[in-house]
Amino acid sequence: MFSIDFLPGFVMGIREGLEAFLIIVIMLEYLNKTNRQEDKRYVFQGLGYGLLASLVFGLVLFSISALFNNGNTNIAKLWEFGASFAALVLITTFIYFMLKNMNNIVSDIQDKIKTSISKKAIILLATIMVAREGAEIVLFTIASADHFAYSFGAISGVLLSSVIVFLIYKSLIKVNIKMIFNITLVYLIFQAGFMLGYSFHELFSYFKAESIIDSSNWVYTKMFDLSDTFLYHKEQPLGIALYVTIGWYSKPEVFQFAIQYLYTMTLLIFFVKSKKKVN
């Protein structure tokens, strides 16, 4: 069933798909220019292994998630915290890497091929690069509220990105990849902040359910509650739009709200400073 989790998954799929497939294209182009066409098959082998590794990783995590969700609901909340926090760490690492290497992605991949010129190294490099992007999609899907909608959106985004990269590779279309990366990077920054706030929301929910922290504690105080207004993030059009773009939540706890937007603003400031250095 379609839900508001489709769009975040779709954008994530496009972002990670573009990153993974463009890496493959960069490797193929490098082998073309160095007259090593016979080694292209090892790049495709690595692509296949990377996709397989992502699939296996996803199946394992989905199985674990299903076990928790079918059992103790309080343990499920703890699992949601763990999955969300793992996704947060991975995506923050990726954002930091992208901001530090905005102008050096192509040369970085090519340098790695130069230093790892053997056939096995080419396969391993392609596998790791693709599996890394796949792992991010899997973790974000596990941490989402609607796994089916998010995964459907992510798969749709990956498929669209593969078509875009294929057309770019064949020079059938011209796309400003840098602009797309910048837009989706800002989107991921907002989603990372949301993931941080959501993970602590689930953790404190577990603490309350298990009576580890009393429900009267200040951490459960609502910053505001706009669920009865046009800003309700689950049903109202504007609220939904804000939810899928900037991680808006219509009734956050004070701690959740503070940590989410402090984290988001920190990454955005880092993003702006990185852009100024590039320019």
Measured in degrees and rounded to the nearest 5, phi and psi for residue 223 equal: -65, -40
Say what percent of the chain tops pLDDT 90: 16
Top mean pLDDT of 45-54, 104-113, 135-144, 195-204 is at: 45-54
Q: One-letter amino acid identity for 99? A: L
Q: What is the mean pLDDT of the chain?
A: 81
Q: Which residue has the higher pLDDT, 263 or 208?
A: 263
pLDDT of residue 268: 92
From residue 182, give the alpha-carbon distance in Å to each of 113, 168, 188.
26, 18, 10
Is the pLDDT confidence value at 5 over 60? yes
The residues, any chain, with a CB within 8 Å of residue 44's CB and separated by 6 or more, are 24, 126
CB proximity list for 34: less than 8 A, separation 6 or greater? none
Instruction: Give pLDDT tens digits for 162-178.
Output: 898 888 877 766 666 67
Q: What's the pTM value of the predicted model, to 2 decimals?
A: 0.71
Angle at 122 between CA 28 and CA 57, to 5 degrees: 105
What is the spatial distance between Cα 91 and Cα 238, in angstroms, rounded to a whole number? 26
Give me the mean pLDDT over the 180-204 stretch.
85
Q: What is the pLDDT of residue 225?
A: 92
Is the pLDDT confidence value at 105 over 70?
A: no
Supply the pLDDT for residue 143: 73
pLDDT(279) > 80:
no
pLDDT at residue 1, rounded to an integer: 46
Q: What's the Cα-to-Cα distance from 161 to each of 20, 154, 165, 215, rounded to whole Å?
A: 9, 10, 6, 45
Between 86 and 161, the more confident residue is 161
* Those residues with Cβ within 8 angstroms of residue 247's Cβ, 6 or more apart along the chain or in another chain: 190, 191, 193, 194, 195, 197, 260, 264
% of residues, the chain, pLDDT over 70: 86
